[in-house]
């Protein structure tokens, strides 16, 4: 959804515009608005590449480098996924973002009773290092970075990525993995959590601490405002909650004796682009500035490069509709425009059929082409932060800053993000907002083309070629898994799992032990099983 | 007969974590005066049935976004029969393609409310299922 609220008169003239974040928008903006907002170029913007980076992290923006494109990709077996990776790369995609199936995300092997019906359905099934060897075959891991959309078992998956790179002969300081690894947002709005909050945050801290030393090109965490927004948060809340989550992880790692300066430069973000164009652009500009300010003023980070808000700005799923799915192609183009006007380093688009299922190759390529056209044809690489100086955009950016800070203050006041999530405060809030938005959609307060305006009148399901789930993938995956268990060195598996257990109980950093387990071909289910045994599972707070 | 609040168990079966729809519908049903027990995520069908039995629910609602609605509903109906509570109607919502609605109905699912169904329709649908004329 994410559309603004428009109050119109009977002649369809707009009388009032209110953005989701709570900002009222005027018909006209002039220099007087900038003055009233106290706008000052040096302190509010700085030149591109200069603190506080409002305009851009880099002096030349897209002139030096086009954005990295990473369509979310993965389904079925590792073979199928490898084929789709190669297809996308051959069409110009410059990075990977791996989708895993739910059993993998939840730490279950493909033959676990809990996995029934889900193997290879929403992403690739991964049971062991063997599957990574197949999935990443012929992918130049020193040139192509991989986002890994994995959270509860991110430490396992990151270890496995290091293991497969080593197996293929790449040095671990040359590879670039970005495990999403943001468990707090799972607990708010994505649902793929396993362990209780404190243990889950410990695992995040372990992977950050480890990556800083051992995987210097990797980004051990990608804090996701994206899903928080998908759950019902406003754009201002999206940034506020993402920053408060970041603080929780920073604090966890600092408590181990490192200083933020040592590691925060490898943090990345995954932020959402849908809904009102201007609100998104102002949001990202304000976010860059606030992140840099926060790190410098609250954490004493000095090195300019470590103040960068690096991230994937893209999406956004809940902007798309099932009705009239081809409209989503156009929506994607506008979201891509928003991302480019916001200076996104990395981007991706939800594909037009994604309200139904996994994208077909055609739909995925349409998304990629959209991103390529934006960069190569219509001028988004010409100059940095082209909207800077706009009376409207600069006023709006300052207003978004205030809104974000307000929302952050509220989280601080109730005791910080870990407490806010453990107690269900954030979940209740965003669910209530989601309900209000849905009511507004149903009563016409918010307009969604094809859904409550310009509806076809057709009752038929539109003619969309859909990706088909193939049951034979499951058989193949399970057969391979059984074969693996027979042929691997099971004593080595037992030894490494035992070492993992002892290290976990002993409060050690689990990462090196996980890498050993992966090399021994321990399975995801076995490794996660050790952690489950020790930590138990989170009990969600009630939200009513 | 005294006016009793309809008690509904809203369940999220399986591993899927997309719960916005389930929570939004739960809030709408609560606002419509029903007593709602939301199970939370990662429920096995056994757990959902157990909750329904413990709570003496009038109706069970499943939210399924994963595409596995046919096997899930089939299994749940079998389990209700095994517990001898087949008189507790099952309704389902989520990502349900139109062509599957007749299949679900034939199976014994009493109401299908795919994502986007207006709240008023879900509420009156459930009311008429629980208290048929």
Which tens digits make up the pLDDT trace of A442-469? 999 999 999 999 997 655 556 677 788 8
Cα(B5)–Cα(A61) distance, rounded to whole angstroms?
60
DSSP A110-124: TTSGGGTTTTTTSSB
Q: How confident is the model at residue A541 (pLDDT cuts 50, 70, 90)?
A: very high
Q: Choose, out of A107, A114, A191, A448, the residue to mutate when testing the contact with B (most B CBs < 10 Å).
A: A191
Residue length of chain A? 544
**Residues contacting residue A481 through CB under 8 Å, at least 6 positions apart:** A109, A110, A111, A127, A128, A523
Strands A96-99 and B59-64, by their bridges, are unpaired
Task: Please report where in the chains the tokens 């969309």 appear, as a residue.
Answer: A464
In a domain, B53, yes or no: yes
pLDDT tens-place string over residues A264-279: 999 999 999 999 999 9
More confident residue, A358 or B64: B64
Q: Please tell me the distance in Å from A174's CA to the nearest CA on chain B.
A: 34
| Mean of pLDDT over chain A | 95
Q: Which of B41, B66, B99 sits opposite A118 (nearest CB)?
A: B66
Pick the residue from chain B with its C-alpha nearest to A105. Answer: B15
pLDDT at A469: 85
Tell me the three state secondary structure of residue A297.
helix
pLDDT at B67: 83
Q: Which of B17, B27, B66 sits opposite A435 (nearest CB)?
A: B27
Do the Cβ atoms of B38 and A434 come within 8 Å? Answer: no
Strands B7-11 and B59-64, by their bridges, are parallel
The answer to whether B16 touches B65, Cβ cutoff 8 Å, is yes
Q: Which residues in chain A touch residue B68, judged by CB atoms under 8 angstroms apart?
A: 117-118, 121
In a domain, B1, yes or no: no
In a domain, B2, yes or no: no
Share of chain A above pLDDT 90, in %: 92
Strand order in the sheet with A68-69: A68-69, A346-347, A311-314, A267-272, A221-224
Q: Which residues in chain B touch residue A543, judged by CB atoms under 8 angstroms apart?
A: 23, 38
Domains of chain A and any CATH numbers: 42-419 (3.20.20.240)
Whether pLDDT at A332 is above 90: yes
Residues 95-124, chain B, touching A (beta carbon < 8 A): 95, 97-99, 115-116, 118-119
Cα(A496)–Cα(A504) distance, rounded to whole angstroms?
12
Cα(B133)–Cα(B129) distance, rounded to whole angstroms?
9
Cα(A178)–Cα(A86) distance, rounded to whole angstroms?
19
Read off the pLDDT of each residue in A301-313 and give the average, rounded to a whole number: 96
Cα(A101)–Cα(A120) distance, rounded to whole angstroms?
5
Q: Which residues in chain B touch residue A123, judged by CB atoms under 8 angstroms apart?
A: none
pLDDT at B131: 83
Cα(A172)–Cα(A141) distance, rounded to whole angstroms?
10
Secondary structure letter of residue B5 according to DSSP: P
Spacing of C-alpha A173 from chain mean position: 23
What sections of A95-217 are H helices per DSSP? Answer: 102-105, 129-135, 154-167, 183-185, 197-214
User: What are the DSSP E strand ranges found in A273-415?
Assistant: 311-314, 346-347
Do the Cβ atoms of B15 and A438 come within 8 Å? Answer: no
pLDDT at A355: 82
The answer to whether A458 touches A87, Cβ cutoff 8 Å, is no
Q: How confident is the model at residue B1 (pLDDT cuts 50, 70, 90)?
A: very low
Whether pLDDT at A2 is above 90: no
Whether pLDDT at B2 is above 70: no
The encoded tokens of residue A404 equal 């974000």
Cα(A439)–Cα(A446) distance, rounded to whole angstroms?
9
Q: Which residues in chain A touch residue B36, judged by CB atoms under 8 angstroms apart?
A: 544
The answer to whether A290 touches A271, Cβ cutoff 8 Å, is no
Read off the pLDDT of each residue in A145-150 and give the average, rounded to a whole number: 96
| Mean of pLDDT over chain B | 94
Range of the domain at B19: 7-130
pLDDT at A264: 98
In 10 A of CB B49, how many CB atoms? 22
The answer to whether A58 touches A48, Cβ cutoff 8 Å, is yes
In 10 A of CB A161, how many CB atoms? 28
Chain A contact present for B16, CB below 8 A: yes
Q: Please tell me the distance in Å from B30's CA to the nearest CA on chain A.
A: 9
CATH of residue B109's domain is 3.40.50.280
Q: Please tell me the distance in Å from B111's CA to the nearest CA on chain A.
A: 18
SS (H, E, C) B43-97: ECHHHHHHHHHHCCCCEEEEEECCCCHHHHHHHHHHHHHHCCCCCCCEEEEECCC
Task: Please report where in the chains the tokens 């490192």 appear, as a residue.
Answer: A258
Do the Cβ atoms of A540 and B72 come within 8 Å? Answer: no
Secondary structure letter of residue B9 according to DSSP: E
Q: How confident is the model at residue A27 (pLDDT cuts 50, 70, 90)?
A: very high
Q: Is the peptide bond before A52 cis (omega within 30 degrees of 0)?
A: yes
In a domain, B86, yes or no: yes
pTM: 0.95
Under an 8 Å CB criterion, which residues of A touch B?
102-103, 105-106, 108, 114-115, 117-118, 121-122, 186, 189-193, 230-232, 322-323, 356-357, 431-432, 434-435, 438-439, 442, 451, 461, 469, 540, 542-544
Q: How confident is the model at residue A1 (pLDDT cuts 50, 70, 90)?
A: low
Give the number of domains in chain B: 1
CB contacts < 8 A, A to B, total: 84
The ipTM, to two decimals, is 0.94
Cα(A221)–Cα(A22) distance, rounded to whole angstroms?
30
Q: Which residues in chain A touch residue B14, judged by CB atoms under 8 angstroms apart?
A: 102, 117-118
Task: Please report where in the chains the tokens 């005791």 appear, as a residue.
Answer: A415
Q: Which residues in chain B touch residue A434, judged by CB atoms under 8 angstroms apart?
A: 20, 23-24
């Amino acid at each position: 959804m994410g559309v603004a609220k428009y109050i119109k008169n009977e002649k369809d003239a707009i009388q009032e515009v209110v953005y989701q974040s709570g900002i009222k928008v005027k018909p006209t903006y002039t220099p007087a608005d900038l003055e009233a907002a106290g706008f000052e170029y040096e302190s509010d913007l700085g030149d591109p590449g200069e603190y506080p980076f409002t305009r851009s992290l880099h002096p030349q923006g897209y002139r030096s480098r086009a954005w990295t494109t990473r369509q979310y990709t993965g389904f079925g077996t590792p073979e199928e996924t490898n084929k789709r990776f190669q297809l996308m790369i051959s069409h110009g995609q410059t990075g990977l973002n791996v989708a895993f199936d739910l059993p993998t995300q939840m730490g279950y092997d493909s033959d676990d009773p809990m996995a029934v019906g889900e193997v290879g359905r929403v992403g690739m099934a991964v049971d062991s290092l063997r599957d990574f060897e197949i999935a990443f075959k012929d992918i130049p891991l020193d040139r192509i970075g991989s986002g890994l959309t994995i959270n509860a078992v991110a430490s396992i998956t990151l270890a496995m990525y290091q293991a497969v790179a080593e197996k293929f002969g790449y040095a671990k300081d040359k590879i670039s993995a970005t495990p999403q690894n943001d468990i707090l947002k799972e607990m708010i709005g994505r649902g793929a959590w396993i362990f209780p909050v404190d243990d889950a945050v410990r695992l995040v801290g372990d992977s950050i601490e480890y990556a800083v030393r051992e995987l210097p090109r990797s980004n051990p965490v990608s804090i996701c405002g994206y899903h928080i927004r998908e759950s019902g948060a406003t754009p201002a809340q999206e940034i506020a909650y993402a920053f408060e989550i970041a603080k929780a992880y920073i604090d966890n790692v600092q408590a181990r004796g490192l200083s933020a300066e040592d590691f925060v430069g490898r943090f990345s973000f995954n932020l959402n682009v849908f809904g009102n164009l201007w609100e998104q652009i102002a949001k990202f500009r304000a976010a860059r500035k606030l992140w840099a300010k926060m790190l410098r003023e609250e954490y004493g980070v000095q090195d300019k490069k470590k103040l960068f808000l690096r991230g994937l700005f893209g999406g956004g799923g809940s902007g798309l509709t099932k009705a009239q799915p081809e409209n989503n192609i156009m929506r994607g183009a506008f979201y891509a425009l928003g991302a480019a006007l916001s200076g996104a380093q990395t981007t991706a688009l939800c594909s037009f059929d994604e309200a139904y299922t996994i994208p077909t190759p055609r739909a995925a390529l349409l998304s990629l082409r959209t991103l390529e056209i934006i960069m190569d044809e219509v001028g988004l690489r010409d100059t940095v932060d082209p909207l800077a100086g706009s009376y409207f955009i600069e006023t709006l950016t300052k207003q978004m800053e205030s809104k974000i800070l307000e929302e952050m203050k509220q989280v601080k006041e109730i005791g910080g993000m870990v407490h806010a999530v453990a107690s269900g405060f954030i979940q209740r809030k965003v669910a209530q907002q989601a309900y209000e938005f849905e009511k507004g959609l149903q009563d016409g307060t918010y307009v969604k083309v094809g859904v409550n305006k310009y509806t076809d009148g057709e009752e038929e399901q539109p003619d969309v070629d859909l990706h088909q789930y193939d049951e034979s993938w499951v058989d193949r995956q399970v057969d391979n898994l059984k074969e693996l268990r027979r042929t691997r060195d099971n004593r080595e598996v037992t030894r490494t799992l035992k070492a993992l257990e002892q290290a976990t109980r002993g409060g050690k950093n689990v990462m090196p032990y996980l890498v050993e387990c992966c090399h021994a071909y321990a399975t995801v289910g076995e490794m996660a099983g050790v952690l489950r045994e020790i930590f138990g599972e989170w009990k969600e707070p009630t939200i009513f | 007969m005294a006016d009793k609040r309809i008690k509904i168990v809203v369940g999220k079966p399986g591993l899927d974590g997309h719960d916005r729809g389930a929570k939004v519908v739960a809030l709408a049903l609560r606002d419509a005066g029903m007593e709602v027990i939301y199970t939370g995520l990662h429920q096995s069908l056994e757990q959902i049935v157990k909750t329904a039995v413990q709570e003496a629910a009038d109706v069970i609602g499943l939210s399924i976004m994963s595409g596995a609605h046919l096997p899930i509903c089939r299994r749940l109906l079998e389990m209700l029969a095994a517990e001898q509570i087949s008189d507790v109607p099952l309704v389902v919502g989520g990502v349900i393609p139109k062509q599957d609605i007749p299949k679900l109905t034939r199976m014994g699912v009493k109401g299908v409310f795919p994502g986007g169904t207006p709240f008023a329709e879900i509420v009156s649908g459930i009311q008429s299922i629980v208290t048929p004329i």
